[in-house]
């Protein structure tokens, strides 16, 4: 089951909570030098990649709503402590700076070229969801 932010599935949260151990947080940086149409394309791409990752890892991942900030760089990325694993998804040039307490989060970076290619989208999702699995395996081995 996909865990989305709606009231119907929130009612099932208590029974699903023991299985959902990973928070997936897409982060978007609104840069003042970009056109609105460019922001729309990039935001949609990022959200679709996040949904694709969640779909492949359903039952264990909670996809949070898109977090965004206006400016040229992130001031901070706050992560909820209720999950064993934290995955931040952002574009390459918009990587968030992690605080000391968030340093164990996995940061997945997406390139922002050729965003309209269906093949590139599928390859990106396949590569990134496997990174999450490797992250889980590394943490399990510690």
Q: What is the CATH number of the domain that holds 23?
A: 3.40.50
The whole domain housing 102 covers: 7-141
pLDDT at 2: 47
pTM (2 decimals)?
0.87
Count: domains in the chain: 1
- How is residue 56 written in tokens? 């492949």
Q: Is residue 82 part of a domain?
A: yes
3-state secondary structure of 110: strand
Q: Is residue 63 part of a domain?
A: yes
Residues 6+ apart with CB under 8 A from 126: none
The rounded distance, in Å, linking the Cα atoms of 43 and 7 is 24
Q: Is residue 1 part of a domain?
A: no
Q: Is residue 2 part of a domain?
A: no
pLDDT at 139: 83
Q: Is residue 80 part of a domain?
A: yes
Q: Is residue 18 part of a domain?
A: yes
pLDDT at 4: 53
pLDDT at 1: 43
CB 110, CB 47: distance < 8 Å: no
Extract the residue ranges of the chain whose pLDDT is less than 50: 1-2
Which residue in 76, 79, 99 sits closest to 88, CA to CA?
79
The rounded distance, in Å, linking the Cα atoms of 106 and 32 is 27
The rounded distance, in Å, linking the Cα atoms of 23 and 86 is 5
Q: Is residue 57 part of a domain?
A: yes
Q: Is residue 39 part of a domain?
A: yes
């Amino acid at each position: 089951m996909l865990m989305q932010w709606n009231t119907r599935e929130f009612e099932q949260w208590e029974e699903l909570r023991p299985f959902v151990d990973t928070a997936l947080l897409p982060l978007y940086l609104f840069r003042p030098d970009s056109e609105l149409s460019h922001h729309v394309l990039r935001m949609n791409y990022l959200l679709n990649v996040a949904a694709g990752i969640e779909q492949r890892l359903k039952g264990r991942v909670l996809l949070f709503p898109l977090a965004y900030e206006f400016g040229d760089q992130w001031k901070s990325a706050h992560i909820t402590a209720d999950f064993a694993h934290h995955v931040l998804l952002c574009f390459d040039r918009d990587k968030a700076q992690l605080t000391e307490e968030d340093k164990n989060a996995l940061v997945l970076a997406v390139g922002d070229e050729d965003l309209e290619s269906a093949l590139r989208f599928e390859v990106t999702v396949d590569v990134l969801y496997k990174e999450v699995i490797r992250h889980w395996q590394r943490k399990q081995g510690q």
